[in-house]
């Protein structure tokens, strides 16, 4: 009888241990399930984030925004905050719209060459301008400029005496790069360009603009044949495409 009682008690004890283990596991699973449903803040690309864009710029320009998702759905390494420790890091490759942003997509420099972003349907053309000819350091990526061309018209032009005239060549050109700095608005890098463009000087810098193909052809012709000068364009400022200024008309109203 003693051995049978001991066996029964042992079986009951094992059963109780099993039940306890099941209860502990179930409680842990419930806790994990609840934790997995807790909202966590992550960043999502609202629009395409070009390579070279800093994390801080991407946030300030609304290219990526914060959103809350269940913790169980958060990708490994997801970017959860942008602050002084990572705000100056740059996107090493383009980040597509709709992507969850992971921290590893940002680093100290983009992969390969810095790329300029040319709008669809347009082409990029670089022109060498002197400091005065590009409004000093005030023209930056994102600026809109008016480009003037001073040239000697041919025999079929408005004048045939060899007198120079100045006209608006491009009423509105979007600047997408200045010098070698295409992706950091506010930064200006001077680069001396080779001669042969009339407007080049010891303080010349390359200004790259995005234009429709027909306007780009006019700019290229102006680069080859005239002297170019740029003005920073104000909002809704009209440019008189028909105005012609010569030595004899420059004081006319």
How confident is residue 111, by pLDDT bands cut at 50, 70 and 90? low
Token pair for residue 202? 């010891």
Look over the chain and give the mean of its residue pLDDT values, rounded to a whole number.
Answer: 76
121-157: pLDDT as tens digits: 899 999 988 878 777 778 888 889 999 999 888 644 4
What does the pLDDT look like over 64-100, one tens digit per residue?
999 988 888 888 888 999 999 999 898 888 888 888 9
Fold of 39-107: Type Iii Antifreeze Protein Isoform Hplc 12 (3.90.1210)
Residue 74 CA to residue 67 CA, distance in Å, equals: 11
- d(C-alpha 229, C-alpha 150), whole Å: 8
Q: For residue 11, what pLDDT band results from cuts at 50, 70 and 90? A: low
User: For the ranges 45-49, 106-110, 186-190, which has the lowest average pLDDT?
Assistant: 186-190
Bridge partners, 208 (sequence order): 126, 177
3-class state of residue 70 by DSSP: strand
Other beta carbons within 10 Å of 215: 20
Going by pLDDT thresholds of 50, 70 and 90, the confidence category of residue 57 is very high
pLDDT for 159: 45
Higher pLDDT, 109 or 115: 109
**Mean pLDDT in residue range 161-185:** 77
161, exposed or middle or buried, with CB in 10 Å at 0-12, 13-18, 19+? Answer: exposed
pLDDT cut 70: percent of the chain above it: 68
Q: In sequence order, what DSSP letters do the residues of 150-194 get, joined into one string?
A: EE---TTSS--SS--EEEEEEEEEEEEEETTBSS-TT-----PPP
- pLDDT of residue 29 exceeding 80: no
Extents of the domains making up the chain = 39-107, 123-246
Residue 65 confidence (pLDDT): 94
């Amino acid at each position: 009888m003693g051995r049978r009682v001991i066996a029964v008690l042992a079986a009951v004890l094992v059963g109780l241990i099993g039940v306890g283990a099941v209860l502990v596991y179930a409680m842990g699973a419930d806790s994990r399930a609840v934790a997995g449903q807790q909202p966590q803040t992550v960043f999502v690309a609202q629009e395409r984030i070009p390579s070279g864009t800093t994390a801080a710029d991407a946030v300030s320009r609304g290219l990526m925004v914060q959103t809350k998702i269940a913790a169980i759905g958060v990708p490994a390494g997801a970017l959860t905050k942008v602050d002084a420790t990572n705000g100056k890091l740059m996107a090493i490759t383009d980040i597509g719209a709709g992507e969850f942003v992971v921290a590893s997509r940002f680093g100290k420099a983009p992969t390969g060459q810095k790329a300029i972003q040319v709008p669809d349907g347009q082409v990029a053309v670089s022109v060498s301008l002197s400091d005065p000819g590009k409004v000093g350091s005030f023209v930056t990526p994102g600026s809109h400029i008016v480009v003037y061309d001073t040239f000697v018209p041919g025999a079929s032009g408005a004048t045939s005496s060899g007198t120079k005239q100045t006209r608006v060549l491009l009423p509105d050109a979007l600047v997408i790069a200045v010098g070698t700095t295409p992706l950091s608005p506010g930064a200006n890098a001077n680069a001396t360009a080779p001669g042969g463009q009339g407007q080049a000087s010891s303080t010349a810098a390359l200004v790259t603009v995005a234009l429709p193909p027909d306007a780009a052809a006019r700019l290229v012709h102006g680069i080859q044949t005239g002297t170019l000068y740029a003005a920073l364009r104000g909002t809704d400022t009209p440019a008189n495409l028909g105005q012609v200024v010569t030595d004899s008309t420059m004081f006319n109203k």
